Amino acid sequence: MAMKEDSNLELLIAQLADLIIKSKRIVVFTGAGVSTESGIPDFRSPDGIWTKYDPEDFTYQKFVSSKEARKKMYGMLEESGLMADTNPNPAHYAIAELEKMGKLDCVITQNVDGLHQKAGNSEDKVFQLHGNMVHAVCLGCKKRYPLENVINRVKQGLDDPSCEKCGGILKPDGVFFGETLPHGELNEATARSAKCDLFIVIGSSLVVYPAAYMPTYAVNAGAKLVIINREPTHMDRASHIRIYEGAGDTMLKVMKRVRGSNT
């Protein structure tokens, strides 16, 4: 039985490699299943951070209005491991390789770790629908700071670090509960999803909206849909290829085949 499953997986990987070779405008959509393979915890998993904290304590409104809420946020970020020194994994590098090949139109990501850019994707090709927790931004003058530096100031005893330029509140640049998604990123992601010829979902269960609408826009416009995710999604039936495996190992095998076709 295992042999049959292995051969079926190899067939799916070969089919995906062939699709990539034939495609000219690929959009890749990534979720927590890509980040977790770099050691970043999935906040929504059964033992994730939201089982230890109440999400209601981390709304945008509370963060802005309460010094105590800001202290709690920085403590949670430190405990979560999100700020650990993490590195891209084979899935990130595979997506960056698609850009080098001239195949990638863009990456649309629900992740906030900046690992796509760290792996080599151009900043202007990565649309971070839920923001970027690599930086903090001043809500007054919009000056940006490395978030790690802000958290270090908290560790050194500064309860509520403020902007060194204007004294404004510093907020991690991710999208908080109660905060709208960045309109520019969302609009651009929507437009690009509707213009691609291949849409690849990697490591997302497609349960968080409006980000999860992106594959629907692609399919409705005639693109082929590929989903690589261990768990089922509501778009599985619409997919051209469905692979129930991990992100890194799958993309490593896929890109090896793609490279082999060019030799």
- Residues 145-155 have pLDDT tens digits of 998 888 888 88
Query: Looking at residue 187, what is its pLDDT?
Result: 95
Give the pLDDT score at 2. 36
The ranges assigned to domains in the chain are 20-40+88-130+181-263, 42-83+133-174
Architecture of domain 20-40+88-130+181-263: 3-Layer(aba) Sandwich (3.40)
Residue 50: pLDDT over 60: no
Mean pLDDT, to the nearest integer, of 28-46?
82
Helix (H, G, I), strand (E, B) or coil at 26: strand
Cβ neighbors of 173 (< 8 A, separation 6 or more) are: 131, 132, 133, 134, 135, 136, 137, 144, 147
What's the predicted TM-score (pTM) here?
Answer: 0.88
Instruction: Scan for tokens 């997919």, then name that residue.
Output: 239
Instruction: Let me know if 234 is a catalytic residue.
Output: no
Q: Which of 116, 130, 234, 240 is catalytic?
A: 130
Q: CATH for 42-83+133-174, among 2.30.30.90, 3.30.1600.10, 3.20.10.10, 1.25.40.340?
A: 3.30.1600.10
Mind listing the pLDDT tens digit for each residue in 200-216?
A: 999 999 998 888 999 99
Percent of the chain at pLDDT exceeding 70: 89
